[in-house]
């Protein structure tokens, strides 16, 4: 994995964490970004040093999801099984799907396969294989719809 790939992977994981915090605490976006820039990205927390994240990529995902949330949620809801709502999904799962969908919509410089693979990896940080498979399937369906 190249250094750029590592810093982007770290940015994706941090973006999901930031989006989760925004939903849980309704932290204003400028304050949230500043907190992550100053205290989390590449920081050492409880004797664990986190990989440096590509800050501009992190910012783009967090700001992009925030700005396009209704559009993004529409793509996700359209592909959920009958009877499922976005609110029924775990909060971290919602953020994983939102971030992945944003990249599929807005980051055409990143291949569909890379987006899906990266967010499956992010899902593994929070969930077991079953949920990671759900992320794979849903993002694949969205990718086919928005990038065909």
CATH number of 3-146: 1.10.940.10
Helix ranges (H only) for 3-54 are 3-25, 29-39
Tokens of 148: 């065909």
Has residue 50 got a pLDDT over 90? no
What pLDDT band is residue 2 in, cutting at 50, 70 and 90? confident
Residue in the block written with tokens 């992009």:
64
Percent of the chain with pLDDT over 70: 95
Across the range 121-145, mean pLDDT stands at 94
Tokens of 31: 């304050």
Question: Contact at 8 Å (CB) between 62 and 28?
Answer: no
Q: What is the DSSP letter of 51?
A: P
List of E strands, the chain: 44-45, 48-49
* Interatomic CA distance for residues 80 and 73, integer angstroms: 11
Across the range 96-107, mean pLDDT stands at 98
The lowest-confidence range among 25-29, 40-44, 74-78 is: 40-44
What pLDDT score was predicted for residue 44? Answer: 66
Domain borders along the chain are 3-146
Has residue 136 got a pLDDT over 70? yes
């Amino acid at each position: 994995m190249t250094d750029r790939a590592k810093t982007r992977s770290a940015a994706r994981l941090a973006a999901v964490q930031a989006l989760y915090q925004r939903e849980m605490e309704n932290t204003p976006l400028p304050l949230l970004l500043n907190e992550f820039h100053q205290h989390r990205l590449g920081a050492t927390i409880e004797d664990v040093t986190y990989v440096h994240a590509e800050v501009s990529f992190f910012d783009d995902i967090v700001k992009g999801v925030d700005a396009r949330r209704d559009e993004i949620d529409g793509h996700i809801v359209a592909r959920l099984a009958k009877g499922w709502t976005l609110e029924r999904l775990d909060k971290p799962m919602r953020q994983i799907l939102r971030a992945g969908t944003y990249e599929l919509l807005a980051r055409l410089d990143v291949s569909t396969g890379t987006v899906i693979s990266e967010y499956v990896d992010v899902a593994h940080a929070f969930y077991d294989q079953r949920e990671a498979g759900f992320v794979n399937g849903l993002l694949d369906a969205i990718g086919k719809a928005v990038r065909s």
